[in-house]
Copies of this chain bind each other. A is one copy, B any other.
Amino acid sequence: MTEVCGTSRIVGFRFSLYPMADEFVDIILSTLQRVDTTKVWVKTDDISTVIRGKMEHVFDVAKAIYLIAANTEKHVVLNGTFSIGCPGDLDGDVYMSEDDVRMNEDRVKNIHIEAPTQFALYPMNNENYMQIIADVVDIAKQQNTFTGGIHYASRLDGDAHDVFTTLEHAFNYTQEKVKHVTMTVNISANSPSRKKK
């Protein structure tokens, strides 16, 4: 394999937060203001935001953004792609020396919201990628968050903390086996088209 990718194990998450509400700007800005992003590199443009850093901090910030936005009780969606193994450059590598203490866990641990999720895993340049995807489905089944395979994706349901745990375990499991991995996630909250319990 040609080493066209970088060698850093920095994790990235390029995402958009979509509040289905007239005050979407306020919801996005107030959410981002309330999340501690000191341990990740952040860059926002007019379409999406990318955060980069150690895996635990990228997932910590992603979960906090979702939970704080969802806690508005508006229909919001966090949609994005986690990536590792092909940063293309070294921006943000300084963040790889942060410690392991998650900055947002305390402020969101008491927010409990159902997080219907569709995700897809793309282990690149690996002939066993379908088996790895099957392994990840087994991880989700063991964690009781897996609720079905659908065209081009798998479905998770449950409390947001459990869903994010599964996503992080799935991603971590895969990146231990494959150098370049991406994982798309579409995490909904408060959708009116979802059946009430």
- Give the B-binding residues of A (Cβ under 8 A): 1-2, 4-5, 12, 14, 16, 18-22, 24-25, 43, 45-48, 50, 52, 75, 77, 79, 81, 83, 86-88, 91, 116-118, 120, 122, 124-127, 129-130, 149-153, 155, 182, 184, 186, 188, 191-195
Q: What is the CA–CA distance of A191 and B191 in the complex, to the nearest angstrom?
A: 22
**A18 close to B18 (CB less than 8 A):** yes
- Most-contacted residue by chain B among A83, A86, A91, A130 (CB, 10 A): A130
Q: Which residues of B contact A4 (CB under 8 A)?
A: 130
Q: Which residues of B contact A124 (CB under 8 A)?
A: 122, 124, 129
Q: Which residues of B contact A192 (CB under 8 A)?
A: 25
Identical subunits present: 2
**A151 close to B118 (CB less than 8 A):** no
**A47 close to B188 (CB less than 8 A):** yes
Minimum Cβ distance to chain B for residue A52 (Å): 7
**B122 close to A125 (CB less than 8 A):** no
Give 13 new A-B contacts, CB below 8 A, not counting A81-B184, A88-B151: A2-B127, A5-B130, A12-B152, A14-B118, A24-B75, A46-B194, A48-B186, A81-B152, A120-B182, A124-B124, A124-B129, A125-B127, A125-B129
**A87 close to B151 (CB less than 8 A):** yes
Q: Which residues of B contact A46 (CB under 8 A)?
A: 116, 188, 191, 193-195
Top 4 nearest A-B pairs by Cβ distance?
A20-B24, A18-B18, A46-B194, A4-B130
Q: What is the CA–CA distance of A130 and B117 in the complex, to the nearest angstrom?
A: 29
- CB < 8 Å neighbour of A122 from B52, B79, B153, B182: B182
**B151 close to A77 (CB less than 8 A):** no
